Amino acid sequence: MSSLLTIIQDVADRVGLVRVSSVIGSSDHQVRQLLALANQEGRELARRYTWQALTFEKTFTTIAQESQTGAIPADFDRFVKDTFYNRTQKRPVVGPMTAQEWADYKGRLASIVFDAFRVRGDAILIAPTPSAGETMAYEYVTKYWCAGAEDTTPDQAAWVSDDDIPFLDTEAMTQGIVWRYQRSRGFDYAETFQSYELHLAQLMGRDGGTRTLMMSPPGPFRPRAPVPPDGSWNLS
């Protein structure tokens, strides 16, 4: 599996730099720049798309108050849209409500058919105030995109060791660092950037699997060989 060190070595090979034996803690200016670009690429690539490797589920048990303690995990970056549900009541929790919608609800005590939520002050507010003990859940994208060599889930938002591993596509990260380095040096990076964008488009198109999309109406009816009908048969 690729690590920070092997990624930086690959980048060095592609841009014509001398291979390095270590990255973290290096005092070499070029190595420090490559590390900074590797962190920039990791952050921006993680925000670019809802990658399945960075998507997790959060469940919490409600308390009988508006603000729900512990409802947002420490690694939270953003919600996956339309995944928030009250599993006890078997119904969706709509939102997030805007500041204006929340003000209207609080100011006029507007009726809310389904549970709704608002995020404010790094807390989830639920309207109307739920009963204690209900289970709520939603999917979210973590802000972490790399981890230590032995870890199985991302738990870092930056590289801290040479043997750290990414939870994003290694080739995408390598190409991303290359074009950023070329741009920083005033080199022509147009072709590298185009290859990077094409590679990302392919990754996003197949990440997590894809559904079949019907782009045209069904074709003409074609007869087929007789087959037994589905279901039970009357044997009398």
**pLDDT of the residue at 231:** 61
Give dist(CA 80, CA 118) in Å, integer.
Answer: 14
**pLDDT of the residue at 228:** 63
**Residues 151-170 pLDDT 10s:** 999 999 999 999 999 999 99
Burial class (CB in 10 A: 0-12, 13-18, 19+), 121: exposed
Look at 7-16, 81-90, 204-213 and tell me which has the smallest mean pLDDT: 204-213
Give dist(CA 136, CA 122) in Å, integer.
Answer: 17
Q: Which residue has the higher pLDDT, 113 or 52?
A: 52
Q: Dihedral sign for Cα 57, 62, 63, 66, please.
A: positive
Helix, strand, coil fractions of the chain, as percent rounded to 5: 35, 15, 50
- For the full predicted model, state whether its pTM sits above 0.95: no
Asked if the model's pLDDT at residue 233 lies above 80, the reply is no
134: Cβ contacts below 8 Å, ≥ 6 apart: 61, 62, 86, 87, 88, 89
Q: Kindly report the average pLDDT of the chain as a whole number.
A: 91
